[in-house]
Amino acid sequence: MLAIFKTIILLVVALLLAAAALLIPAHLRSIDLAVLQAHAHQGAAGHAVDVVLNESIRSAHIGSTLRILNATRTRPDRRQPYQAQIRELLEQRPSLLASGGPDRTLEDFLELVQAKPSATAGIEPRPLLPQLLPRSERASLSSMLAESTNANVAALLGARDIVGLLRLHPASHAAGAPYDAGILSLALLIEGGHFSPALAQKIGQTAAQASLGTPAAVRALEDFAIATLSLGRQLDHRSLADLAHITQSLSDWGEMGTLFRAQPDRIDALYTALRFEGSSSPIFSYLATYPDTGKQDLDAALSYGPQATQEILREALPIYRAKAGLAATVIPFLSQYRPHSLVE
C-alpha cells in the first residue's frame, strides 16, 4: 500500500512539474507570440499600426500607406477609412498616383513631361522605374537635372555613358535604358535630398571615379544602379525615398535590392519591415538564418507594429509554436495562469 501511495505522489509531482514547464512561453531559442502582441497597443495612441498609418496619410504618402495596410493585414473595417482618405487625396492631387507622395523635384518632372494618370487607374501608385524607361522621359529628366547646382547630381549625370560595365549597358547603347533609368533615379533621389548628405557625397564620388575609368568604382556604381533597378521597378518614388532616407551605406542599398529580387512576391512586407526596423541588415540576417519560418514569423510581427518587428529582429529568434500533442492541447488552458512577467 505504501509503495502505491509513493507512486501516486511521484506521478502527481511529475504532472505538476510538467504543467509548470508548459507555463514557460518557449524554449530558450524562441520568442513567445504574447511578447509581440504586448507591443500592439500604445495606450491612448491606439493600435501601433494605426499610429504609423495616420502619420503616413497625414503626409499624403499614399504609396507607403497602402503597403503598410497590406503588410500588416489590417482588417477591412480599419482599412476602409484609410482607402477613403487616399481617394480624397487623389481627387485633390492626381499627380500623387505617379509619385506616391509629395515630392517637388519629381512633380516638376511630371509637369515637364505632362504625365496624366489613366482614367481607369485605381488608387495604387505607379512604380518609378517604368516611368523613366522611355527615351523621351529620360531625356527630359536629364535636361531638368542638368540645371541642378548639386555636385553629386552632376557627377551621376556624367557617369551615364561610362565604359567597363559588365551587366548593363551605358545610356547611349540601344539597350542602355535600364542603366540610365537607374542612374537618373539616383540623381532624382539626391536632388530631392532623400539620401543623407554623407551617402550622397559617397555616391557622387563613386560616380566621378567611375567616369575616370576606375574599375572598382565602375563595379560599385553598376551594383548600386542594379539595386536601384530592383527597388524602383517595384516601388513608387515616395516609397523609394523612404528607403533612401534610412540607408546608411552603399551596402545597405545593395541588401535592400537583394531582398526585393529574392522575394518579389513580398514587396509590401519587405518595405514595411524596412520602415519599421530602420535598417536592412537585421532583416537580411533574420531571413537568412530562418529560411523555413522567417517569412511567416516576420509577417506575424509586422501585424503588431514597429516595436514588435524590432523586438523579433533584435532577439533574432523564431516564434514559438507548440508541437502537436499534449502541449498543443494543454497550453491554451494553462496560458491564463502564466505569470505576467514572462511576457514583458
pLDDT per residue rounded down to tens, the chain (344 residues): 556 656 666 665 556 555 555 555 444 578 988 888 888 876 544 688 999 999 999 999 999 999 999 999 989 999 999 999 999 999 999 999 999 999 999 988 988 887 776 655 688 999 999 999 999 999 999 999 999 999 999 999 999 999 999 999 999 999 999 999 999 999 999 999 999 999 999 999 999 999 999 999 999 999 999 999 999 999 999 999 999 999 999 999 999 999 999 999 999 999 999 999 999 999 999 999 999 999 999 999 999 999 999 999 999 999 987 665 555 555 555 455 444 444 44
pLDDT confidence of residue 340 = 47
CA distances from 128 to 106, 125, 188, 237, 282 (A): 10, 9, 11, 5, 26
**Structural contact between residues 260 and 270, judged by C-beta atoms closer than 8 angstroms:** yes
pLDDT confidence of residue 334 = 47
CA distances from 287 to 280, 282, 290, 297, 316 (A): 11, 9, 5, 10, 10
pLDDT confidence of residue 42 = 64
CA distances from 318 to 29, 129, 208, 286, 297 (A): 7, 35, 44, 9, 6
What Rg do the C-alpha atoms of the chain give, in angstroms? 25
Close Cβ partners of 157 (under 8 Å, ≥ 6 residues apart): 142, 145, 146, 183, 187
**Structural contact between residues 222 and 167, judged by C-beta atoms closer than 8 angstroms:** yes
pLDDT confidence of residue 294 = 95
Q: CA-to-CA distance for 341 and 9, rounded, in angstroms?
A: 30
pLDDT confidence of residue 46 = 61
Residue reference for cell 575616370 = 212
